[in-house]
Amino acid sequence: MRKKIYEIIELNQKGISVSLLYDILMLITISASIFPLMFMEEKPAFHTIEWITVSIFIFDYLMRWLTADYRMGKGKWSFVLYPFTAWAIIDLLSILPGLSLIGKGFKIFRVTRLLRILRLFKFIRYSGRIQVLVSVIRKERNVLLSVLVIAMFYVFLTALIMFNAEPHINPETGAATFDSFFDALYWATVTLTTVGYGDLCPVTDLGRCVSMLSSLFGVAIIALPSGVITASYMDELRERKIKRAEEEGKNDPESGE
């Protein structure tokens, strides 16, 4: 019975229509649970939606815990270790905001609308393409981490230069500019990413030169992870396609002829 439950709740169980229906139900449930976050006011219908979706999330969490040994393959220890896995923690955090609807004693966990946003991460479990992207990021994590370190170093360097080069009061308007080092970090970040909101602007020639260099280097630094992810993403899709073709060939009784 537990093995049958495991086959139903796990993704990509081909040939099992109940598993597909379960996946569709969970996608609808996740979407419905996020829908109230698009409104500021609370409506009675939203409480009903929250109660129903949280009940389904609790059921899903318990069923996955019940079949943890099939997933983790560590015998009885699987039931002890499962609550500490990444997916189990995400599932639990997505449940906590709704527990205040079931019992008033749980209102301490209603840190709320922000915590509900974690339910979006549950989409990853049911989206094959997102799983491919996650796999790509995991494979290229060393390269991406190196790019992140370079970007953070450059942001800190340009922020330090700008904070010391620019006046803290704009002599033309009298408004505060780069009033704190955090302002300089904010400016350096949005400039590096070539966004440039314009709410903080350098007024000295040195500051403007730094701003131009930061924008030019920003294009190069931002382009690095994009190229790495794109190339690795295509390789991952190609590998999965070859693997799928090999599995279908093994399952084909005529393939040995």
User: Quick one: average pLDDT of 12-34?
Assistant: 76
pLDDT band with cut points at 50, 70 and 90 for residue 41? confident
Quick check: 138 pLDDT over 70?
A: yes
User: Quick one: average pLDDT of 90-102?
Assistant: 71
Q: What is the pLDDT of residue 257?
A: 45
Quick check: 177 pLDDT over 60?
A: yes
**Nearest-angstrom CA–CA distance, 240 and 229:** 16
**Nearest-angstrom CA–CA distance, 5 and 7:** 5
Q: What is the pLDDT of residue 174?
A: 56
pLDDT band with cut points at 50, 70 and 90 for residue 171? low
Quick check: 7 pLDDT over 60?
A: yes
176 by DSSP, 3-state: which?
strand
The position carrying tokens 């009033």 is 179
pLDDT band with cut points at 50, 70 and 90 for residue 252? low
Q: Could you give the residue ranges of the DSSP H alpha helices within the chain?
A: 2-9, 17-34, 44-66, 68-72, 77-81, 86-95, 113-116, 123-126, 128-139, 141-165, 181-192, 205-251
| Residue that wins the pLDDT comparison between 247 and 77 | 77
Residue closest to 172 by CA, chosen among 132, 140, 150, 202: 202
Q: What are phi and psi of 169, to 5 degrees?
A: -125, 125
169 by DSSP, 3-state: which?
strand
Quick check: 11 pLDDT over 70?
A: no
User: Can you state the angle between helices 141-165 and 181-192, rounded to 10 degrees?
Assistant: 130
pLDDT band with cut points at 50, 70 and 90 for residue 136? confident
The tens digit of pLDDT for each residue in 152-168 reads 888 898 888 888 888 76
Quick check: 187 pLDDT over 50?
A: yes
Quick check: 144 pLDDT over 80?
A: yes
Supply the DSSP string of 212-245, one letter for each residue: HHHHHHHHHHHHHHHHHHHHHHHHHHHHHHHHHH
Q: What is the pLDDT of residue 196?
A: 67
Q: What is the pLDDT of residue 110?
A: 41
pTM given for the model? 0.57
User: Quick one: average pLDDT of 112-120?
Assistant: 62
pLDDT band with cut points at 50, 70 and 90 for residue 184? confident
User: Quick one: average pLDDT of 11-20?
Assistant: 64
Task: Say if CB 208 and CB 202 are below 8 A apart.
Answer: yes
